[in-house]
Amino acid sequence: MNLFAEMPGPEEGRKGGGGRPLADRMRPRTLDEFQGQQHLLGPGRPLRVQIEKDDAASMIFWGPPGVGKTTLAKIIAETTHASFIEFSAVLSGIKEIKQVMADAEKASAYGSRTILFVDEIHRFNRAQQDAFLPYVERGTIRLIGATTENPSFEINAALLSRCRVYTLQALTDADLMTLLHRAATDAERGLGATGVSFDEGALELIASYSSGDARNALNALEVAAKLALSHDGRRVTREVAGEALQQRVLLYDKGGEEHYNLISALHKSVRNSDPDAALYWLGRMLEAGEDRMYVARRVVRMAVEDIGLAAPEALNLTLSARDAVDFLGMPEGDLALAQAVVYLALAPKSNAVYTAYGAVLGDIEATRAEPVPLHLRNAPTKLMRELDYGKGYQYAHDEEGRVADMECLPPSLKGRSYYHPTGEGREKLLRERMEEIRRMKAAKRGK
């Protein structure tokens, strides 16, 4: 990796393709060819202004796969006449970083500017990320990092503070259609010289199934064209396009942000009593390969956090769904999870126990650990009885209504109320019962 090696021109290696994938051959060469990200690249928008003014600030591109992060970095390098070094965080370590930095310093001494593009920068550990800091600080390199993960969590704060973060969005179907039409008709870099034609709806199908990922869309287009040529028909029908696609691309990373985004959407849809949305988000997670037992655990949590005692049977139902997943496996067990989330979405809601327990934990944290009142202590020995353990205890079964007027909290928390049942579902009956208990205690105090 030598910065003084002769750099290829912008057109070199592009014409003809040389067996390179269609997605690579059709990579945009200028900002005007670039599709999407108008919130960043439209006239007067921040990234376009930075590029046009040749602002040398380092930056992080954050967005899903196939939206143009690498392409943008290459366009910036060509637009600003900088040397472009592409670096993979998956394949490189500290040794390679130091070598690139040394070459960049030599190049800088000769007036050459270097853009270092680091793909999947979030995969570098903290020490590796720190290695960039002095060079970014001095301006020896202009760092452009690409990540599919939230930079706030994955990039060192010191490095992040020296970079501008630009959030790239998944391409719309309209964006993908523009790219697909361009690739299908371009005779130099695309498929225009192959003689392959596309039936109405074929490109639309590919666009809709690519989930905003240009690379996947162009790869599917290339496969569809090859299938058409192998069939001697040179026509890509909707059926051929569907054969090329096989399965919709679902953006998902079990350990990344999208994992938490989807489970959050599922939980909040259940909480908002929306069974249709709950089923949709559940399906998105399961079809993307999420661990079924993880989903089952989260569904059980929904039962205790958001349904509570308004429908106490929800807990048993979700535990049964968990057992069904374990017993049946997939895909049959998925129906048990679907049944559970629909029930939870339609069940009456209460977070009264959840809130009450939170208040209890707050008091435990904020108050001293008082001893158990003597009347609530057991007295199995003579010494304990002599110390008044159990003195004054009132056995509820001997009391009228099976309720004694006896304080069970420590003195400093006397009269504290934590649980406030709602009027939803079964909790309405519990609220009435609590009011009845209060009346009985008050009546006994008044005797």
Q: In sequence order, what are the residues at sequence separation of 6 or more whose Cβ sits closer than 8 angstroms to the Cβ of residue 364? A: none
Q: Which pLDDT score, from 0 to 100, does residue 254 have?
A: 52
What pLDDT does 238 receive? Answer: 86
Spans of the chain below 70 pLDDT: 1-19, 89-94, 109, 111, 232, 247-258, 447
Q: How far is 426 from 422, CA to CA, in rounded Å?
A: 9
232 vs 220: CA distance, rounded Å: 19
At 308 the pLDDT is: 93
Q: What is the pLDDT of residue 15?
A: 43
pLDDT at position 277 is 92
pLDDT at residue number 321: 94
pLDDT at 17: 47
**CA triplet 12, 14, 20: central angle to 5 degrees?**
125
CA distance to 118, 140, 159, 172, 393, per residue, from 168 (Å):
16, 26, 20, 12, 67
Q: Tell me, what's the pLDDT at 256? A: 58
Cβ proximity of 30 and 75 under 8 Å: yes
- Residues ≥6 apart with Cβ < 8 Å to 229: 194, 196
> What pLDDT was estimated at residue 400?
86
| The pLDDT value given to residue 301 | 95
pLDDT computed for residue 8 by the predictor: 42
Rounded (5°) CA angle 244-245-248 = 175
Domains and CATH numbers, the chain: 31-167 (3.40.50.300), 173-245 (1.10.8.60), 257-346 (1.20.272.10), 371-445 (1.10.3710)
Residue that is written with structure tokens 């009456």 in the block: 348
Q: Residue 257: its pLDDT value, please? A: 61
pTM summary value: 0.58
Q: What is the pLDDT of residue 385?
A: 85
Q: What is the pLDDT of residue 288?
A: 77
Environment class of 213 (CB within 10 Å of its CB; exposed 0-12, middle 13-18, buried 19+): buried
At which residue do the structure tokens 């162009």 appear? 218
pLDDT given for residue 6 in this prediction? 40
Token pair, residue 229, equals: 């040529």
CA gap 246, 235 in Å, rounded: 18
Instruction: Return the pLDDT at 368.
Output: 83
Q: Are 181 and 214 in contact (CB under 8 A)?
A: no
Chain centroid offset of residue 388 CA: 58
